């Protein structure tokens, strides 16, 4: 790990949405806690409840620790700073895994569109 003076520098985190930034929590009227604003009505996305102990579950760590720098395909992609892995909640709904879908073809098509 790199250091600046006596302070260790954190690993970079490419963030597409607030759900994986660790800086957003959304509360429902029942006290349920979510990281993704679009999934507030979906109980499978619940990461905790203000009336339960512990308030935040292990599922919250899954969202907070999501980082495309840990995924070789994304880490080695020239478009990773543009897409940051896309919308993780969409992939979680489709695949039941918090794993990004490659959008490289999309970005390549946009470059062709601008160039030609």
Which of 58-72, 85-99, 100-114 is predicted most confidently?
58-72
Q: How confident is the model at residue 114 (pLDDT cuts 50, 70, 90)?
A: low
Q: How confident is the model at residue 115 (pLDDT cuts 50, 70, 90)?
A: low
Query: What per-residue confidence (pLDDT) applies to 56?
Result: 92
Nearest 5°: CA angle at 92, between 15 and 19? 35
Asked if omega into 101 is within 30° of 0 (cis), the reply is: no
What does the alpha-carbon distance between residue 18 and residue 74 come to, in Å, rounded to a whole number?
19
For the chain, strand residue ranges (E) read 3-4, 7-8, 26-27, 32-34, 46-49
23, 84, 91, 113 from 62: Cα distances, Å: 14, 16, 14, 37
Q: What is the pLDDT of residues 25-83, one digit of tens each?
A: 999 999 999 998 889 989 989 999 999 999 999 888 888 888 888 888 887 888 887 77
What does the alpha-carbon distance between residue 75 and residue 17 come to, in Å, rounded to a whole number?
18
* Listed residue (42, 49, 48, 41) closest to 93, CA to CA: 42
Tokens of 48: 């905790």
Query: What per-residue confidence (pLDDT) applies to 10?
Result: 65
Query: What per-residue confidence (pLDDT) applies to 31?
Result: 96
Tokens of 68: 């495309």
pTM score over 0.75:
no
Q: Which residue has the higher pLDDT, 9 or 45?
A: 45
Length of the chain: 116
């Amino acid at each position: 790990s790199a250091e600046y003076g006596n302070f260790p520098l954190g690993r970079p985190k490419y963030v597409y949405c607030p759900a994986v930034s660790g800086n957003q929590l959304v509360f429902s009227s029942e006290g349920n806690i979510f990281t993704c604003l679009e999934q507030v009505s979906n109980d499978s996305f619940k990461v905790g409840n203000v009336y339960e102990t512990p308030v935040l579950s292990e599922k919250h760590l899954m969202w907070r620790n999501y980082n495309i720098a840990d995924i070789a395909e994304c880490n080695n992609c020239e478009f990773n700073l543009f897409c940051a892995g896309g919308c993780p909640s969409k992939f979680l709904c489709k695949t039941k895994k918090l794993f990004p879908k490659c959008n490289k073809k999309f970005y390549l098509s946009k470059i062709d569109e601008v160039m030609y």
